[in-house]
Structure 1
Amino acid sequence: MPIGRQASRIWPSGGAHLWSPGASSEAHTHDRGHLVYAARGVLSVHSERGTSVVPATRVAWIPAGFGHHHRAHGHTDMRIVFLTASLARLVPAHPAVFAASGLAREVLLALTGTREYDRAATARLHRVLVEELREAPEQPLQLPEPRDDRLRAVARVLYENPADTTPLAELGRRSGASARTLSRLFRDELGMTFYEWRTQLRVHHALVLLAEGHDTTRVAHACGWANPSGFITAFTAIIGTTPGRHRQLTRPV
């Protein structure tokens, strides 16, 4: 059973769940693909492909059969919309994160709100939602999980302390690999450089800290930026909005 869930409304095509800060679900699968949206707060969605962080400006997609679990950061209003097999074929066959347009957000909220729609209207809203997501590029908010033991050793250091600034060469000495080998592994296995991966990790951590109510300056330092301006630039480049604006979107009503 989920730990820390406060209230739920569930129906065949979706659901709405209120979560306390730090609440989580057990690992599970669904026989239908579904979209996950945080109307308030921030969710992290963990699957075999890695960790997706889902603030109010993003929508996560979990295909049918993918094992996953959720965790809430801050008071979180989680919405779920299941897709039919015919609509699921129009979106990726792997877990993904999409930018949520204004229309997509309104449709998600409508489909998971208290108003009841007939079957035809619900089907139309589902089609609109999928078309909006097809127009939205996948977002770099899924942090891939390293598989190579040497990469895992490096990742553990940064999971424990995202602000760690140890050079890759030194991290390599600790994990038994050269900086060149680690750089190649990051590119080949994770599809990004070490510094890109570390920035993604830091922004993930920043999303969590912002959801917990910490201010921009404290979050910047906790995530490894020497000054808030550098943090704001990196955060905005990935999330598409400033940390301050993001806090307004995710703050409980």
Structure 2
Amino acid sequence: MAWLEPQAQFDPDRFSAPLIGIAATLGDHDSGLHRHRRGQLLYTRQGCTRITLADRVCLLPPSRAAWIPAGVTHRAQMQQSVDYRSLYFCPELSPQLPGEVAVIEVSPLLRAVLEPMAQAAFDCDWSQGRYPHLLGLCIEEIRLALRQPLSLPLPRDKRLQPLLADLQSLPPPLHVLATRVGASSRTIGRIFQRETGLSYQQWRQQWRLMRAIELLATGRSIGYTAFELGFASDSIFIAFFKAMTGTTPRAYLR
């Protein structure tokens, strides 16, 4: 059963079935911070979804999914039109799945299994017919899926809150940030290394990559994306993207 989620927050915990699936298309949706007792697999088929957690931001372009364990507070933001599938696993099933948040690559087999599971009725009997086989395959494919480096760790230091308040805009160079927050460049560098495991320049480059994927996945051109992210030319942006991902922007999105 396809089900279109309304703008109000959907509560998967009010159902008794071991798995609840959703097949939906939403535009400019913001779930707000929330959590549930079920583990969630959120798969973006078309468009791009940004997931904000307490300590990082994750990105789901097409063919990527996020596994969010039960009890983890998160926020999902969808720009423009996003076609997605979401599965909510009961606590009894969740121990078989990863114990931490992960962005994974969706294999052709997992993609094929997700569709009938997301379309199933909320009162589906998952112990009958093909359903237990689908469930077992899905769990195994999530466990074996390749992890994707599509997350940006967030520093916790209060001095950097002005930087984190707007993660849509290009973070400033280190010397500019130092002036804004009233701390030395060396101090900021130490904070980032300690709290994110990255230097500020590495963190800024990872932000650029994720924002580039977000813009391209929502229909922006390479020229627009290069300009927005402060690159002097399209060719420099493409070289940066290839150095970070091993492929060109167009090939990555295909």
Show the counterpart of 1:124: 133
In 2, distance between residues paired with 1:140 and 1:149? 26
| Structure 2: runs of 5+ lacking an equivalent | 10-14
Matched with 2:157 is: 148
Q: Aligned letter for 1:28?
A: H
Partner in structure 2 of residue 35 of structure 1 = 41
1:170 corresponds in structure 2 to 176
| Structure 1 residues without counterparts, runs of 5 or longer | none
Taking a change above 3 Å as real, the CA distance of residues 103 and 209 of structure 1, as seen in their structure-2 partners, is same
1:138-161 deviations in Å (ceiling 9; x for gaps): 3221222321023333445x7353
Q: Structure 1 residues 106, 2: closer, same or farther in 2, change over 3 A?
A: same
Tell me how many residue pairs correspond in the alignment. 240
Relative to its length, the structure with more strand (as a share) is: 1
- 1:53-132, aligned counterparts within 5 Å? 53-113=59-119, 119-120=127-128, 121-132=130-141
RMSD, matched Cα: 3.0
Deviation at 1:59, TM superposition (A): 1.0
Task: Give the deviation of 1:132 after TM superposition.
Answer: 2.4
Distance 1:240 1:63 in 2: 30
Aligned CA distance change for structure 1 residues 64 and 17 (closer, same or farther; 3 Å): same
CA offsets, 1:50-80, max 9 Å, x none? 2211111211011111222221123111211
SS of the residue 1:26 aligns to: coil
The two structures have a TM-score, normalised by structure 2, of: 0.80
User: Aligned equivalents of 1:4 and 1:246: distance in 2?
Assistant: 33
Deviations 1:19-41 (A, max 9, x none): 01x22223322111010001111
* Cα deviation digits, residues 69-121 of structure 1 (max 9, x gap): 22112311121112243542233333221122222222222322469885353
**CA 137–111 in structure 1, closer or farther in 2 if over 3 Å, else same:** same
Amino acid at match of 1:70: A
Structure 1, residues 173-198: CA drift from partner, whole Å, max 9, x if none?
A: 33122222212211211122212221
Matched residue SS, 2:77: strand
Identity %: 33
Change (3 A) 1:86 1:114: closer
